[in-house]
Structure formats: C-alpha cells, structure tokens
A and B are shown apart, each in its own frame.
Chain A
Amino acid sequence: MSGEREVLNIVVVGHVDHGKSTVIGRLLYDTKSLPEGAIERVKRIAREKGKPFEYAYLLDAFEEEQKQGITIDTTQLQFRTEKRDYVIIDAPGHKEFLKNMISGAASAEAALLIIDANEGIQEQSKRHGYILSLLGIQKAYVLINKMDLIDYSEAKFTEIKQEMNEFLHSLHVFPLKYIPISAFFGENIVSPSAKMPWYQGEPILKAIDLFEKDTGLATKPLRFPIQDVYKFDNRRIIAGRVESGRLQVGDEILISPSNKLTRVKTIEYWTELDKTTAVDAGMSVGITVADEFFNKRGEFIVHPGQESLVADTFKANIFWMGKKALVKGQEYKLKLATQEEECEVCSIVKVIDATTLATVENAGQVKTNDVAEVIIKIKKQICFDEFKNNQLTGRFVIVDGYDVCGGGIVSGLVEQWQAVSKLVGNGLDLAVNCFDNYFYVLSEANVRKQEARPYAFSLGDVVAVAGQTYQYPEDFDIVDIQGKVAARVRKARLVSLVRLAAYDYAGVPVIETNGCYVKIATQEHFTQLLAELAAIDDWSGKQAARFISRWLDFTKYRTMPVVTQIGVTGADYQI
C-alpha cells in the first residue's frame, strides 16, 4: 500500500525556457506515470493548435500557458520509482511569477535547478539559487539541459558547472550533483547517455533516488505551538501540531511566553486506533493538561530547560513578493507558527540584488522580488527559534493588507537593538532624533534623515550637542511633546529625566525630540502649549499644522544642507 511507501517532494526551478516542463514531461512519460487520458488530451490540444506534440505540453493544463508558452503557477505531479513516490513541483521561471515559484518551492525537500547549456546561467538561475538558500533547501542537483545544442561538450559543461558552483557556494548552497542532460532527446534521463560517455554519474531517475529524506525533527527540542483550545464537551483540549520533538503523557511542560508550568494529563483521540501516550513531530494532536490556565493560540508548549527564544525583535533574511514595496516603519502582520502579531521592519540593513549579489545598505524599502537583511520589531514578545536550529519555528511570513507578501527566516537575536538614540536615567527613557542629520537630497528632490549610529546616553554622559547639521546650546531641555518624558541637559551633560507631568519650564531653551526649537519663554506658555496639544485629535489636520507653525521652529538650531545623494553610513549590524 502507498501508506508504507516513502514520498519525496521535489521542486524543479530554472530560468524561463531552460526546459523545466520538458524535463518533467519526460520524467512522467519515462516512469509511465501519465494516465491515458492525459496524453490523449494533450495530443488533441496540440492538434487543435496545429503544433507538434511536445513533452512540455503534458504540464500545460491551463489556456494561458499555451497562449504564452509559460507556466503561470506551480503544478504538482506525481510519479514513482522502485524506491519511492515523488511529488514534483513545477515552478514557473518568469520573474513576474516568482511568488508562484516560492509557493511551490516552500514545500519541497529537494530541488532540481535547470540551466540551458546553450544560454548558460541567466538571471532567474541565480535568483532561484538564492531563494533555495533562503528556503533552506540544501539538497539540490543542477541539471545542465539541452546538451544536444552544444554537441554534448564536456568542456562547456565544466565551464557552466564551475561558474554556477562559485555562485551557489557563496550562498551556502552546495549542489550534490551536476548532471548533463538533453530532456528533449531523453539523454541521461532513465539510463546513462551514450552521447556523453565522459559523464560518470547517474542519470536523473537514478540520481533522485539518492536524495536522502530529512529526519531528525523528532530528536529536536519540543515545539508544540497552540493552534486552538476546544471545549466541545467536558474536556478542555489544547490542539495543535507537534512541530518538533516528542511529547508524552506525564511530561512537565512550560507554556511560553506566559511562562506557566504544568503537566500533560492526557492525549485525546477519537478512534481507538489513535489512542496513544506519546506523540512525535509532525502529528496534529490534542492534549489536556493538569492545571487549567487560560491558554491561547500562538503560545509554544516546550519542555522546561529547552525553551525557544522569546523576544520582540530579531534579525531576519526576507524575500518580498508584494506588489507594493516593503517600507521601513510601516505596520505589517507577522505570522510565525500560529502566532500573529503586528510588526514593523525597523531597519533594512541590506537589500541584495539576487542575481549579482550587489548590496544596497541602509535602504528605505524592499521592492518586489528583492531579498534583504532586515531587523523586525514585533508589537509584543513572541516565541521563535533561529532558522538554523529549527526550520519550522524559525521562519515566518509578512502579510500586507490581505495577502502574504513576504517570507523570511530568523537569523538571530539583536543584541540590545535600538532604532534611535536614547536618553536613559531616573527609571525613564526617551527616544530622540535630535542627534540625527537631515539633508535635502538633490537627486531625490526630497528631505532625508541620515541615520546616525544610535547612541544611548545615561545620566552624567556628555551628549552630542554639536553635529554636522545642528548646534544646540550647552544648557537645554528636551521634551517629548507627544510622549510622556522630558530630559534636562546642563553643560552638555544629561542631568535628569522627568515625567512630562512633573516638568517645569526652567528658563533654558527647550527643544522637542526631533531637534525643533519649542517657542516658549515662560511656564504659562508651556501650559498653554500642553492645552492646545491635548485638543489635537488629528495629526494630519489643520489644527495640528497651526500648532506646529505656532510653537515649533526647525531651523533655529538646525541647518538643512543640500547634498547630491545621501552618504552611506549605516548601522554596522552583522547578520
């Protein structure tokens, strides 16, 4: 029965027209995996279109494909060898369908990357290589196709192999094999090709049986994210899937991040067949616990001493598939395991051009089909692991509006991350931009803030009163007019922080957190300012504009130099 047979999911990727559909059509045909109806149907379509039959047509189930000659979505097809069953995922090569390629590839355990021997390595060959590395697909073969077009030349094969190896190795993708083939003529598909006696390795159908399936999720630390809590009857069942590790009745468990300890009382079941006292990674289960806490979706059940990371900020590598660019500082929804929280990308450390590996540092946005290294800040603390330690709890998606627009993997925690400079003391802290520089950028016709390395100033520290584009007096106060804290600087040193409610005007100049001079000269002015502030309900409205022009002066202590482009002095974070 097929229940006992192993199944392996393989994704087939590559640049458009490099022959993916032909390779798959061949594999299906040569393993006799096509139902009679399919071949008849494709022959009929080819006839209707007045075209000769091609193996590639076997996959083209949709009108659009035949119209444009491209695969618009991933297709899943099955074939079997002596060893096991395969689900083959045909991922589109066209750049505009990258999101479909990623959808397909995300469920794969192994990959075949196809390169046209005649055209060599193209844009999507590299981009797909990069995405395999981001998806953590380590098992890959590179198929050099259309060898017939280069007279089955070993030299050309070796050249492409070396070039691709160099690229993939720089991404930490190490292809296990390079196989020279001609899918159209069936060379090196089922049996070794007589045309390429110099190739000593296996043909594709033998080679894929050598991919080894991942094991080992069961031996990793327990990760059981709560999916839902049911109370259909007198049982209170915590339901979810054991992503990794093993859970047994009687185990002491920790529910994280709320940090509640309890014990597994029962593992629930419906049919007698499913009655058990232990469950392993991969199983969708339901348990009851000894203490009835309020548990909710998203929390991780773990074993004490083997907790996941818990934080509200992490470093990640992401790929972006949204129609709109990912913008720093904008609100998105992050989904990681069964957790869903609002998040923002607070720093785009690097945007990487996936085809050249050229990088743009400290960018403001990540465009469609870009990959990037970012720092993500989540509204509250969540549970996760580093991707290298646990793929299932170390990856996430980003939702913009109604759609999943990005995917990413957690590369690590951020050590004392802060997005902006901070003043700290008296049990309070105040985030400020007054030590950042602003420029008018000629090439963009826009004002941009150049992010300085964020500072943290404690009581007694000398603060940066003089900068490239600003000069504050030696004595001044900083108030966060929309926040709740104020700070006093005397002789250029931070001397105290107070709550805004307890702040009194002290006769020294006052600035707000961006460095705007606040036009007050008496305590009465300050009281009046607070009253007007409290009356503002819309910060994009006229009332707010009147408030700003009445009370704030940006250029009193600041200048706004014109530059042709903004210099790159980004924060030096290492991923």
Chain B
Amino acid sequence: MDHLDRLEAQSIFILREAYKKFGKLGMLWSIGKDSTVLLWLAKKAFFGHCPFPFIHVDTKYKIPAMIDFRDKVAKQYNLELIVHANEEALQAGMGPEKGRLICCKALKTDGLQQVVAKYEFEGLILGIRRDEEGSRSKERVFSERNKDSEWDYTNQPPELWNQFKTDFPPGNHIRVHPILHWNEIDIWSYIGRENIPLVDLYFAKNGKRYRSLGCAPCTGQIDSTATTVADIIEELKNTKQGERAGRAQDQEDSYAMQKLRKDGYM
C-alpha cells in the first residue's frame, strides 16, 4: 500500500463508521475539489451506491459553472441532492457588502443549520482538511456540535485508535470529517490517480485559475499556467502561498475562521 492507498482506506473506514452509527446522515457537497473527492470515496465505500443524501448549501452567490457541474454530476451519479438556501436572509438583502463574516454566517452557517434542523440530521459528513487553516487543524474526525451547531473546541473528547465519538445527547449532531488527514497535494494526486471529474474552474485559463472555490464576490483567482492535474501538483510543490489566500472571509481578521467555525461554519 502506498500513501494514497492508506489515506483512501482510512477515509472509507470513517465513512462506513458514520453510515453504521448515524440513522440520519447527510454529506455536504460544496462542488469543490475536496468534497468531490469525498463523493468519490463514498461511491467506493458503498460499492457504487450513495446511501445518504448530499446537501448543497447554496448562497446564490456561487460561480455559475459550479452550479452547472453540480447538476450534471448529481444526475450522472443519481444522487439524492438537497439544495438549500437561506431564502429569508437573501430576501432581506444579505450579501457580502453587509460584511463578509456576517454574510458567511447568514448564508452558510445559518443556512446549514436550517438544513440540519429541517431534516433532523444526526451526522453530517464534511470534506474539511487539517492543513487548510488553523482552526481546522484542531478538529476531531467525529466532532460534536450542540443544538445550535456550536463547536466547543476547548473541550474535545479524546479520539484514539479509530474509536470515534458515536454517543451524544439528543439534539446534538456529529460532524464527520473523513478527509481531515489529507493535504492539498494528496487531494490532487488522488484526483489524478482516480481520474475524478472536477469543475474546470481549477484549471488555468488566460494565466489564471481558482485554487479554492467559494462565492464569486469573495473568491479570487491565482496566477497560474497549470492546465492539468500534474501541472497543479508541480505548482503546489513550489508555492509558498496558503491555499485559502484567495478566500476573502479568511482575511477579515486574525481569528476570522475560528470565530466562524465556533458558531457552526463548515
């Protein structure tokens, strides 16, 4: 087994634990590379089936190519797809001009919480990774959220030997992070090896590409000539830029992501 085989085996093990342990389980799919890899891993874990719904929290500010890709893949894989937007906030005129963190909180965090409440999810699978940014590096694989989706990161139970947290009081839910231990280059190496279909925004056009995908107003492109997966891996090996450098909400203040995530952000 090589490094990617080990990562894959661990992620599949985690997905199967989640499926076994939570009656109401859903997977968050942001259309980005990480959650698309996660979708692929789920197909592998369950031998071509996807035994739980996929959730897209749509802010209505997403880059249009993402939505096209979403609908195409959902149809191709025959996914049970839940698309949810915080309509109330949108009708009240929510947008990044109200403040990026306020907008993220309303359209993403609150939107997500509405889905959790509506479908009474006990488990939510998310494609976050430890190496993305500081607050994610301290996550557990099975991470508890209270009824308001808040994360008590100062008091997390131990997690050892693949024995995950599967007991929790009613009303709380568990965030499951099957690719927490992958890094950005692992993701791309795996996409290359498995030939996983991906939205083409990641590949350079006219000297620019997206390295991390989000909402159109708050997501910047990087200078790049990488048009293939191999090009991207080579580029990443030589970059000193952070992966989320193009994500404006992260730069709002020193603890932006930590604050967002404490309140239930993905």
A interface residues, Cβ below 8 angstroms from B: 1-7, 32, 34-38, 41, 44-45, 48, 61-64, 72-78, 85, 87, 99-100, 102-103, 106-107, 227-228, 230, 232-233, 235, 237, 239-241, 268-271, 273-274, 280, 282-284, 286, 297, 321, 333, 335, 392, 395-397, 399, 401-405, 407
Contact = CB atoms under 8 A, between A and B. Distances in A.
Contacts of B76: none
Contact of A3 (B2, B46, B135, B154): B2
Main DSSP-derived SS at the A contact region: mixed
A448 to B, nearest CB: 32
Given A36-B241, A78-B183, A273 B160 contact: no
B169 A402 contact: yes
B12 A395 contact: no
A228 B161 CA distance: 18
B22 interface: no
Nearest to A407: B160
Nearest to A33: B240
A45 B253 CA distance: 10
Nearest to A101: B158
Given A228-B20, A404-B165, A241 B9 contact: yes
Contacts of B185: 2
Best-buried of B1, B12, B158, B183 by chain A (most CB within 10 Å): B158
B197 interface: no
Contacts of B153: 62, 73
Contacts of A239: 16, 45
A523 B167 CA distance: 50
Contact of A232 (B46, B181, B183): B46
A290 B45 CA distance: 22
The 9 A-B residue pairs with the shortest CB-CB distance, nearest first, are: A61-B134, A37-B242, A106-B160, A284-B12, A3-B4, A99-B158, A35-B242, A403-B157, A36-B240
Interface in B226-266: 233, 239-243, 245, 254-255, 258
A5 B2 CA distance: 8
Contacts of B130: 76
A335 B163 contact: yes
B167 A62 contact: no
Interface string B186-210: 1001101110000000000000000
Given A35-B242, A403-B167, A397 B160 contact: yes
Contacts of A32: 240
A346 to B, nearest CB: 22
A151 to B, nearest CB: 37
B5 interface: yes
Nearest to B186: A2
Nearest to B190: A3
B80 interface: no
Contact of A102 (B133, B160, B186, B242): B160
Nearest to A284: B12
B183 to A, nearest CB: 6
A401 B167 contact: yes
B161 A395 contact: yes
A549 B135 CA distance: 60
B160 A402 contact: no
B9 A3 contact: no
25 contacts: A1-B192, A1-B233, A2-B185, A2-B233, A3-B190, A4-B2, A35-B241, A37-B241, A38-B242, A44-B254, A61-B134, A75-B138, A76-B137, A85-B3, A228-B19, A228-B20, A235-B47, A270-B43, A270-B44, A274-B44, A284-B45, A286-B47, A402-B165, A404-B160, A407-B160
Contacts of A72: 138, 154
Interface residues of B, number: 63
Contacts of B61: none
B47 A237 contact: yes
Contacts of B13: 227, 241, 284
Interface in B109-151: 130-131, 133-135, 137-138, 140
A11 to B, nearest CB: 12
B159 interface: yes
B98 interface: no
B1 A269 contact: no
Contacts of B254: 41, 44-45, 48
A5 B3 CA distance: 7
B64 interface: no
Contacts of B160: 102-103, 106-107, 397, 404, 407
Given A1-B189, A235-B47, A392-B161, 4 more contacts: A73-B153, A227-B13, A232-B51, A268-B47
A102 B158 contact: yes
Contact of B17 (A35, A44, A227, A283): A227
A377 B18 CA distance: 28
Q: Which of B19, B51, B160 has the most CB of A within 10 A?
A: B160
A37 B250 CA distance: 11
B67 to A, nearest CB: 27
Interface in B30-78: 43-49, 51
Most buried by A among B4, B45, B138: B138
A85 B181 CA distance: 13
Given A99-B158, A282-B9, A395-B161, A4 B3 contact: yes
A239 B15 CA distance: 12
B241 A103 contact: no
A24 to B, nearest CB: 12
Nearest to A1: B189
A77 to B, nearest CB: 7
B46 to A, nearest CB: 6
A28 B246 CA distance: 23
Which of B157, B190, B194 neighbours the largest number of chain A CB atoms within 10 Å of its CB? Answer: B157
Nearest to A281: B1
Contacts of A402: 165, 167-169
Contacts of B154: 64, 72
A286 B48 CA distance: 12
B2 A270 contact: no
Contacts of A45: 254
Nearest to B136: A61
Contacts of B17: 227
Given A284-B13, A403-B165, A403-B167, A271 B44 contact: yes
Contact of A99 (B3, B157, B183, B233): B157
Contact of A282 (B1, B4, B134, B193): B1
A404 B159 contact: yes
B176 to A, nearest CB: 15
Nearest to A87: B181
A270 B47 contact: yes
B183 A404 contact: no
A270 B8 CA distance: 13
